[in-house]
Amino acid sequence: MTIKEAIKERHSVRRYLDRPISGNVLKELESYIDAVRDESGLTMDLVLSDGRAFDTALAHYGHFSGVQNYIAISAPKGSDEDIGYFGEKIVLFAQTLGLNTCWVALTYSKAKVRTAKRKGVSVRIVIAVGYGAEDGKPHKSKDFSAVAKADGVMPAWFVDGVEAALLAPTAMNQQKFQFILVGNNSVKAVSKLGFWSKVDLGIVKQHFEIGAENENFTWA
């Protein structure tokens, strides 16, 4: 599965099978997380076979079951866009490995996350990961015209980028972002005020780059 295919296949999954991540899949996931950790400077801990953070009333209320693994992302304040941008790289890579994921900002217990305590950084968000008991389903989406703006004709790469962004996960499916074509090959991405909307912005920029392909544009 390519990363572009992963964008289409990915949906948030909240129910997981009792099947550990092991062997080559685990090795590939770990080395990918290592690379993204180096690239981003973010603190990312892959927690395996420990469901305590999801064994809470909140998690059950959020319809989570069987979560045994997650990636905890810790960062200083002001890192939300990076968290989204780099975390979504891992989400999409995990999908190519046959794994499912769900970003989780609220419906888990932060106190039960098993990570080393570090100075100046605290857990900001987690990504549940594992073999899903289901594949999830496509989310309702805003219209293309609500999230894309251009003065003239939109080039194909811009359309592809926006379409990839519309498939991205956003907190409560709020999709509070907009892509604006500036001149011929520059793009401005903005997020409207909303719950976790800077993490969302990083996520949708990651999708846009994959859909539009980096050589076609620069960020304004």
Ligand X SMILES: Cc1cc2nc3c(=O)[nH]c(=O)nc-3n(C[C@H](O)[C@H](O)[C@H](O)COP(=O)(O)O)c2cc1C
Please tell me the number of Cα atoms within 13 Å of 155 on its side-chain side: 16
**Residue with smaller CB distance to ligand X, 9 or 50:** 9
Binding mask 115-154 for ligand X (x = CB under 6 A): ---------------------x--x---------------
Does position 61 interact with ligand X (CB under 6 A)? The reply is: no
Whole-number Å distance between alpha carbons of 170 and 155: 25
Q: Which is nearer to ligand X, 7 or 21 (CB)?
A: 7
Contact window for ligand X (CB under 6 A) among 35-43, 45-53, 100-108, 184-192: 100-108
Q: State how far the Cα of 199 lies from the Cα of 146, in Å rounded to an integer.
A: 20
Query: Closest approach of Cβ 152 to ligand X, in Å?
Result: 31
* Tokens 């469901």 found at: 51
**Angle, in degrees to the nearest 10, between helices 23-40 and 80-96:** 160
Amino acid at 215: E
The amino acid at residue 31 is S
Binding mask 187-216 for ligand X (x = CB under 6 A): ---------x--xx--x-------------
Amino acid at 51: G
Segment contacting ligand X by CB under 6 A, of 7-15, 92-100, 146-154, 181-189 = 7-15
d(CA 137, CA 115): 31
Q: Contact residues for ligand X (CB under 6 A)?
A: 11-12, 14, 62, 102-107, 136, 139, 169-173, 196, 199-200, 203
